[in-house]
Amino acid sequence: MFTVDNCLVLSAVLFAIGVFGVIARRNLLVILMSIEVMLNAVNLAFMSFARQHAFEGGNAGQIFVLIVMAVAAAEAAVGLAILLAFFRNRQTADADEANLMKN
């Protein structure tokens, strides 16, 4: 059971759940969390591949996991700052309320 492809299947399923969250939800906080879920799934995929390629190609996979963590934290910081600025002006955290601009 604990094989490379099953780890990847788990990561693919988590990624798809994150995609669902971004598309289907209106609460901005939950959308941001869904993006974190997607990044987490990517990390799992990188880690499985890194473990599989443990004897070839250096440890690029592990470094990538580390970098994705940093990027996820930075993205969360900027994303939440943008959310706060939006909330201050509009008093809502609903993505569908962001509708001032139309064709």
Partner 1 sequence: MSDVMFVALAVVSTASALLLVTRRNPLYAALCMMVLFGTTALLFLKLSAPFLAAMQVLVYGGAVLMLFLFTIMLLNLHPEELGSEKGLTFKLSAGILSAVLAIFLIYAVKFSRDMTGGSFPELPAGSAAFGSAESVGEGIFDAFVLPFELVSVLIVAAVAGAIVLTKKKL
Partner 2 sequence: MEHLIAEMKPLSPVLIVFTGALAALLAGVFSKKENSYALPYIGITTVAFAFVALLNYWGRGMIWLLQGAIRIDSFGLYISAIILIACLITFLASIGYAKRLGFEHGEYISLLLFASGGMMLLAMSADLVTLFLSLEIMSISIYALAGMARHRQKCNEAALKYFILGAFSTAFLLFGIALIYGATASTKIHAIAQVQGLKPLLVAGLGMLIVGFGFKVGAAPFHVWVPDAYEGAPATVTGFMAVAVKAAGFAALLRVILIAFPGTWAEYWWPVFWAVALLTMFLGNIIAVFQKNVKRMLAYSGIAHTGYILIGLVSLGIAGSEPYIPGMKALMNPIAGGMLFYLLAYTFMTLGAFAVISLAARDEDDLETLDDFSGLSQRKPVVALAMAVFLISMAGVPPFGGFIAKFYVFKGAIDVQGMLLASGVKEYHALALAILGIITSMFSVYYYLRVVWFMYFREPLEDRPSVAPSWGLHFVIFASSVAIVVLGILPSGFFSVASRGAEALVR
Residues engaged in binding partner 2 (CB under 8 A)? 8, 15, 18-19, 22, 28, 31-32, 35, 38-39, 41-42, 45-46, 48-49, 52-53, 56-57, 60-61, 63-64, 67-68, 71, 74-75, 78-79, 81-83, 85-86, 89-90, 95, 98, 100-101, 103
- Report the sign of the C-alpha dihedral through residues 84, 76, 95, 102, in that order: positive
Q: Closest by alpha carbon to 42, among 71, 76, 1, 78?
A: 71
State which of positions 14-53 bind partner 1 (CB under 8 A).
14-21, 23-27, 29-30, 32-34, 36-37, 40, 43-44, 47-48, 50-52
Burial class (CB in 10 A: 0-12, 13-18, 19+), 43: buried
